[in-house]
Structure 1
Amino acid sequence: MARAFQEGCRVIVRYLFGRGFSSTPDPTSQPQDIQLFTTQILLVLSSSPISWTGENNRFSLVGYSLGGGVAASFTSYFPNLVESLILIAPAGLMRPNHIHWTSRFLYGGFLPGKLVEYLIWRRLGGGNASTPSRSNEDDNKITPTQAAEEETPSHPALTRDSSASISTRRPSVSIADVVSWQLTHHAGFIPSFISSIQHAPVSSQHSSWKTIATNQSSPSPQQRLLEKKVLLLLGRDDNVIIADELSEDAKAVLGDAVDICILDGGHELPVTDADIVAQTIVSFWNQ
């Protein structure tokens, strides 16, 4: 999607720590929370001798999935830096009923860390193992560990659009291929994934989002977004971030400070429909 902004925009794309080619700070001493991600954003802003914040000392921030939750939280803390905020299928307001008790058990510190890493590795496809079907009688014998492994949500990239290529420049590489590569070659990927689930702004971020809405009434232009609202882009068929639910919850916390656009597609919207997403964002900027 970033390539769609090449004309007229200066774009930087960053991996969250522990993803892609990014290294991994030790999650035991530096958990993957908003403090770590805020530090990363500020480091990125200092990465070039040419200022990323331009003449107004502000920049547009586009966040996708977990990055959307991070972007919203960052904006609530640093409104003076963010000129425009775009959230694509963002984390942050995920409803508690979507978090199964087994996931709470798995990520709650009740199991040894290495066991949790192994279970997550298997669930994300590292073991390529299928779970045999069980009878109702067997259900009564399942252990909490087995339940946790089976109920752990798979990676968002392993959904119905996982065969989509990541880029027109690399059509042979799919989203699922990238996840598989990380499972095989990136030792920090699983610890980062687990730490993010435990500490990142995935849910219950209503206060941060409300702060963004409140700032739009500030007398200081530096505290307000240029459009005085957030653009929220959702996939109609997204089974990770449910469009109808997030639309309702976002309106409740942001009020008039949000434009919601629901597009055809799933959670991989910025990959499978990059041009449409980019056009929608540009239209928002030009309105």
Structure 2
Amino acid sequence: MNSTPLAFRTKLLDRRDWYIAITAPVIGYLAARLLANLIRAASYNGVPSRPKIYRAPSQNLLTERDIPYPPDALSGGRDVSTPFGNTRVYEWGPETGRKILFVHGISTPCIVFARLAKRLVDSGHRVMLFDLYGRGYSDGPDPSIYRQDIGFFSAQILSVLASSSLNWMEGFSMVGYSLGGGISAEFCSYYPHPVESLILICSGGVTRPFKISTVSKLMYNDLFPDWVVNWWMRRTLRAASVVKPIDKVEEVHDDHRAHAENSSFPIFEDRENASAATTVAWQVAAHEGFVPSFVSSVKYAPIHDGHERWRRIGERCEERRKGGQVRGLKEGKVLLLLGGYDAVISSTETAEDAASVLGEENVCTRVLEGGHDLPTVNSEECFQPQGDVIFAGRTVSKGTEELVLV
């Protein structure tokens, strides 16, 4: 008896089993998607659904002094309603004083500027601070719908400026810290006319991308679904909230407060439990939108790719200093303040890259005592850098040139 046809049929059946095993789940998934779409279409009432908004923590916390960021921590607080949810804004200081807008970084909300803002108000300035979407007491619109890129943040900044009873668009100084530096620089490149001075502290924007770890590249490259990336980042941020000493800081043997361990220094003079570390930990626990917003900012915010927009700023500075009819950036320079012990933003690399992109004549760089928490741990030198440039609106000579950067 010839067994060849039987063996052939057996192999064919085996193949069919494999084909069915492979294709059945795909067909089942597509059928389920089609059924869900049909049900959704049948139940559609003509009213479009709105994207999800992660609501900020409740502000019924005025008496809870044990949290690092109570909503009455700063003066002049208000909530601004926008299409993306509420934005928390603080504005105070003399109405006739020079106006200064602050943009904070990727993790710590606007209270990171508390000490610096107080110094400026005490010296006669008008300040405005706000929480980026998904931080502090600002809502976080669904990042899967609204990417946290420069267009998204620019819309928020314009909403904040328009919310004031004063006319900020007639001219203000802009101070950006960390990610907020990248945001501020690109905002200035698109909306240069009202920005009279641009000050970048420990700024992102042209950070060298090779510093991204392999794990981060995998996690942020859409290889995994959002819930996996958010879960991983939530664990990472919780672990990062445990303060660890930094080697470079440990090598310093004096007690200057700028040498305090990164993230542990008190944000407020009268509230020791409020630090960058405790505030981030509070946001992870209390704000459902914080981690998704953080992840979206890492993916899409201006951290590494701002070179083209920074070059545009440099061109405008050059034109301004040559006497061209250019509005904004009155000094024809950008002030860059860097922390000498910053383990996040390298002072050496950032100074080199900023000078290369902006042009050496269009940037004034000062390396100050401190790490990445520079606005907190060394607010006095951010207010008034040591050397031949004054930060808070006073003029000093640099050769035959005078600079007034705020």
**TM-score (norm. length: structure 2):** 0.60
Aligned equivalents of 2:239, 2:142: Cα separation in 1 = 21
Aligned-pair Cα RMSD in Å: 1.9
C-alpha separation between the residues in 1 aligned to 2:240 and 2:211?
Answer: 25
- Distance apart, 1:128 and its partner CA: 8.4
Inter-CA distance 127–283: structure 2 relative to 1 (3 Å threshold): closer
Matched, 1:14 2:130: yes
Q: Higher mean Cα deviation, 95-104 or 199-208?
A: 95-104
Structure 2, gaps ≥5 residues long: 1-115, 243-259, 396-406
After TM superposition, give the deviation of residue 206 of structure 1 in Å.
Answer: 0.6
Where do 1:192-271 residues align within 5 Å? 192-216=293-317, 217-218=319-320, 219-222=324-327, 224-255=328-359, 256-271=361-376
Q: Does 1:87 align with 2:200?
A: yes
Matched residue of 1:215: which SS? helix
CA distance in 2, matches of 1:226, 1:91: 23
Structure of greater relative contact order (alpha carbons < 8 Å, 6+ residues apart)? 1
> In the aligned structure 2, how far is the partner of 1:101 from the partner of 1:89?
24
- In the other structure, the counterpart of 1:39 is 155
Letter matched to residue 215 of structure 1: R
List aligned pairs for 1:39-188, cutoff 5 A.
39-53=155-169, 57-125=170-238, 160-188=261-289
Please tell me the residue identity of whatever aligns with 1:269: L
Letter in 2 for 1:283: I
The whole-number CA distance in structure 1 between the counterparts of 2:177 and 2:275 is: 18
**Long gaps (5+) in structure 1:** 130-158
Residue by residue over 1:18-76, the C-alpha shift from the partner in whole angstroms, topping out at 9 and shown as x without a partner, is 111111011111110000100011001111222224xxx11100000000000000000
Q: Which residue of 2 aligns with 1:143?
A: none
Q: Quick one: structure 1 residues 229 and 119, their matched pair in 2 at CA, closer, same or farther if it must change by over 3 Å?
A: same
Identical amino acids, percent of aligned pairs: 42
Amino acid corresponding to residue 23 of structure 1 in structure 2: D
Q: Which of 128, 140, 145 does residue 24 from structure 1 map onto?
A: 140
Cα deviation for residue 173 of structure 1 reads 1.6
Once superposed, which parts of structure 1, at least 4 consecutive aligned residues long, lie more than 4 Å away?
A: 126-129
Contact 1:126 1:183 in 2 (8 A): no
* SS state at 1:247 partner: helix
Amino acid at match of 2:358: L
What is the rounded CA distance, in whole Å, between the counterparts of 2:145 and 2:390 in structure 1?
A: 43
Counterpart Cα distance in 2 of 1:80 and 1:251 = 22
Q: Distance in 2 between matches of 1:72 and 1:100?
A: 25
Q: Does residue 286 of the first structure (1) align with residue 394 of the second (2)?
A: yes
2:140 match: secondary structure: coil
Give the Cα–Cα distance (whole angstroms) in 1 for the partners of residues 277 and 241 of structure 2.
Answer: 12
Task: Report the AA paired with residue 268 of structure 1.
Answer: D
1:286 is displaced (CA, Å) by 2.5
Amino acid at match of 1:186: H
